Structure 1
């Protein structure tokens, strides 16, 4: 153990304590002063260990309040086409959806461009909230060409949209994704049960079939504290 820096040893011990449930998610851990006395180290050494845990997303600092065990975020790897349902199940969470609206409409210029639609085409526009263990994770607006959505029933959309399409014989291809940061509007905040102005991760995605035809243009807003994307090379 002599070759391992002291702050790393403290980091490992605190991480193990959290994994064992010594402090629960959302619970404040002892102050830096208390912990530095417990481990018989300087505040600077203790602070290094805490900051490393914060950087790893295990702890969360709240200004003027203290340091807390962070909520474990749902993660999505940005590669390929993966359904929300599959992501949730892979992380031992129960997925569900609540459809807000589902109707036939004329496409906007942006929707027409992204879905490569002819001049007279119509689209089906769907709004729904996606949940994990009954906690709202994101609000999405999905636009589908009429030829894709015309055989879908609204009651089928409480589960995985991709699974429904595959069951109908569609072969899914790849997706193009763009992620940006924004703040929750009053409408989105109300739907996701957060405060107006809270951090939001905004995903814009165009999904194609294996033959190259775009079949979905979706704009999704994720609660920043409950979801994160990661890249893997």
Structure 2
């Protein structure tokens, strides 16, 4: 059995302590230095564990104050009471857009803490990095970087020219299907390299999207995409609320949130 990474041990212990009210709602976790001494780990390992707890919405980092344990109702707000009627979210380009992929490159790199966390690996474990630029009518629109587990697809880097549709290729060649994924749509600003590739000014607003994709073996891919918002937009499709939305019990639960 693979040894549990230090950051996962730290995360599991803090998660258990929060759930068991060792750190009550509204209280603050010990500082990074204090946690490092408690678990005999580095500050980098502590930050990794903290990042996972933030993703779980068990805590929030308050600038200048520390790391605070938050109310479970805050965790459930977006998941339960607001977006129950979302059907899907799509990325759209203009109707006349001719999409092309250029600059495809795949290599092997050690996973940083973010990639390791997303793919459930030890930090420093070697992963594939697939880099591509998506253009619309010859104008670069998306800088796309996929981080992929080598142990699932050991010879993937020998098929660089065939990776136009990554999930289709993986299913066809390895017999492994994409099953679930979670994508986060964020706003960021273009750094110098982003700006050079996307033909925009440094500091211009861009979408910064991240996604973790899962297959039957576990998390298989972590994606980072930097996107020009003036040439691409996202559409959220919704339907009428389900029948239970009007039930008194549910309406009362909204009042308490």
TM range (shorter): 0.5 to 0.7
1:1-233 map, 5 Å: 79=88, 91=95, 93-99=97-103, 101-118=105-122, 121-152=125-156, 153-157=159-163, 159-168=164-173, 169-209=175-215, 211=216, 213-233=218-238
Higher helix share: 2
Distance 1:151-1:221 versus aligned 2 partners, 3 A rule: same
Number of aligned residue pairs: 150
Return the alpha-carbon distance in structure 2 between the equivalents of residues 78 and 213 of structure 1. 25
Return the alpha-carbon distance in structure 1 between the equivalents of residues 87 and 176 of structure 2. 22
Contact 1:78 / 1:230 at 8 angstroms: preserved in 2? no
Match of 1:171, SS?
A: coil
Distance 1:213-1:226 versus aligned 2 partners, 3 A rule: same
- Provide structure 1 residue ranges, at least 5 long, that are not aligned to the other structure: 1-76
Return the alpha-carbon distance in structure 2 between the equivalents of residues 141 and 151 of structure 1. 18
Distance 1:95-1:166 versus aligned 2 partners, 3 A rule: farther
Return the alpha-carbon distance in structure 2 between the equivalents of residues 78 and 205 of structure 1. 18
- Provide the aligned C-alpha RMSD in A: 2.7
Match of 1:143, SS?
A: strand
2:11 is matched with none
Distance 1:208-1:182 versus aligned 2 partners, 3 A rule: same
Deviation of the 1:195 alpha carbon: 1.8
Deviation of the 1:154 alpha carbon: 1.4
| Greater radius of gyration (CA) | 1
- Provide structure 2 residue ranges, at least 5 long, that are not aligned to the other structure: 1-85, 239-257
Deviation of the 1:100 alpha carbon: 5.2
Return the alpha-carbon distance in structure 1 between the equivalents of residues 220 and 208 of structure 2. 20
Return the alpha-carbon distance in structure 2 between the equivalents of residues 129 and 78 of structure 1. 28
